[in-house]
Amino acid sequence: MNAAFPPYQQGTDNFTSRGSPMIDPFGRSVNYLRVSVTDRCDFRCTYCMAENMQFLPKKDLLTLEELERVCSAFIVKGVRKIRLTGGEPLVRKNIMLLVRQLGKRIGFGLDELTLTTNGSQLARHADELYDCGVRRINVSLDTLDPEKFTKVTRWGELAKVMEGIDAALKAGIHVKLNAIALKDFNDIEIPDLLRFAHRCGMDLTLIETMPMGEIDEDRTDRYLPLSKLRADLEKDFTLTDTGHRTGGPARYVRVEETGGRLGFITPMTHNFCESCNRVRLTCTGTLFMCLGQNDAADLRAAVRASSDDGLLSAAIDEAITRKPKGHDFVIDRTHDKPTVARHMSVTGG
Ligand code: SAM
Ligand code: SF4
């Protein structure tokens, strides 16, 4: 047993109760927490990070125990789904200890624990993830071409990610692939990605690039509206709208020719904020109430000020009163500054 985490006894603490949902000023209930467990990553995807990224000093990070404490406070407040993300969540040291602890809350307040990963470390963690109660994960995969994969991730190796996907599927975990749509890079490959995903029983979700953080290139050069991609796909495939939802912002269609599902996440061309149910915690304990805004709450101060959860609970309540109506992402061709200064790896995708 790990000394840092005391054994969890179901039914003997306040975590077994499911709180009533937190309601924001616009009447939306907040029941989904995304947690970026590290800002570090073993890839340097060109649309996400600069090659020489400066990462946070380790002393600024919440410990795994502190992260669990914050997650627990959210579960008590009615959060039913937690997604661990990053940076790359599976490169955080001892991350499986946190996964195991949170997995014990499934059925006791929490409905689902999921993960968004680049897949590089998945082969060695897949069985344990399943054992901890993880049943669905998102794997980011923008291309099936090994050379292009290394080009876009700078440091990644496609074969390792494919091994990871295979291991996850064999472990019994549902895998959804996420691909960023990049003009003149993977647009012509999307039909292949779609066929591959559906052949293996995986959904595929396409995402528009968002202007977050300084990178080494101009994002507007690669920006591809999904409305254009959808129109192109409709030349070869019959796409039927469905009401399917997974708690995230994707809108899904059924692809009649493959029988699989295809999702679209369109923060730039179609604002999905009206149904937003989530908040995002960074690895330093900063809570962002919106991916596309800078306002935030410092939960680390509340965690470290007292071992009693009263302060933390009050800080979360106060933060929820500041959840904004929506984001203001714009593709700005006149300024070279991103709309949001922090990188996606700070708050996770
Ligand atoms: N490292 C993990 C991964 O790649 O899946 C988790 C973190 S990553 C920041 C989460 C998702 O954000 C990935 O699917 C990635 O493609 C996406 N992403 C990164 N930068 C983005 C940007 N500027 N716009 C839109 N999506 C972005
Ligand atoms: Fe790392 Fe994910 Fe960002 Fe790529 S998208 S650099 S894998 S955090």
Starting from the CA of residue 248, give the closest ligand: 1
User: Has residue 6 been placed in a domain?
Assistant: no
Indicate whether this model's pTM tops 0.95: no
State in Å: Cα 349 to ligand 2 middle. 9
From 49, 138, 141, give the residue whose CB has the most ligand 2 atoms within 8 Å, as the site to mutate: 49
Report whether residue 207 contacts ligand 2, using a CB cutoff of 6 Å. no
Which ligand 2 atom sits nearest the alpha carbon of residue 348?
A: 8
User: In what helix (H) or strand (E) does residue 347 lie, and over which residues does it extend?
Assistant: helix 344-347
Closest of 28, 109, 34 to residue 75, by C-alpha: 109
Ligand 1 in contact with 85 (CB < 6 A)?
Answer: yes
Q: Are 296 and 287 in contact (CB under 8 A)?
A: yes
Within-domain flag for 276: yes
| CATH code of the domain containing 327 | 3.20.20.70
320 is written with which tokens?
Answer: 């929820």
Range name among 29-43, 168-182, 255-269 with the lowest pLDDT average: 255-269
Res 164 pLDDT > 70: yes
What domain range includes position 72? 13-347
Question: At 19, is the pLDDT very low, low, confident or very high (cuts 50, 70, 90)?
Answer: low
Q: How far is the CA of 52 from the centre of ligand 2 (A)?
A: 13
β-partners of residue 140 are 178
Residue 7 within a domain: no
HSE-CB at 108 with a 13 A cutoff on CA atoms is 16
Asked whether residue 264 is assigned to any structural domain, the reply reads: yes
Confidence check: pLDDT of 281 > 90:
yes
Distance 317 CA to ligand 2 centre (A): 31
User: Which residues lie closer than 8 Å to 4 by C-beta, 6 or more apart?
Assistant: 63, 64, 65, 97
| CA-derived radius of gyration, the chain | 20
Cβ burial, residue 349 (10 Å; 0-12/13-18/19+): buried
| Residue predicted with more confidence, 348 or 25 | 25
Write down the pLDDT at residue 333.
44
The residue nearest atom 4 of ligand 2, judged by CA position, is 45
Q: How far is the CA of 118 from the centre of ligand 1 (A)?
A: 9
Nearest atom, ligand 2, residue 156 CA:
7
CA–centroid distance, 344 to ligand 2, in Å, is 8
- The answer as to whether 76 is a domain residue is yes
Mean predicted lDDT score pLDDT of the chain: 89
Q: Find out whether the beta carbon of 348 lies less than 6 Å from any atom of ligand 1.
A: yes
User: Which numbered ligand comes closest to the C-alpha of 39?
Assistant: 2
Q: pLDDT (tens digit, 9 = 90+) per residue, 172-215?
A: 999 999 999 999 999 999 999 999 999 999 999 999 888 877 77
Phi, psi of 221 (to 5 degrees): -65, -30
Ligand 2 near 285 CB (within 6 A):
no
Tell me how many domains the chain contains.
Answer: 1
Structural domain includes residue 105: yes
Q: What was the pLDDT predicted at 65?
A: 97
Residue 5 falls within a domain, yes or no? no
Is residue 3 situated within a structural domain?
A: no
Give the residue, by CA position, lying nearest to ligand 1 atom 7: 86
Atom of ligand 1 nearest to the CA of 41: 1
Q: How far apart are CA 53 and CA 57, in angstroms?
A: 12
Asked whether the predicted pLDDT for residue 347 surpasses 80, the reply is: no
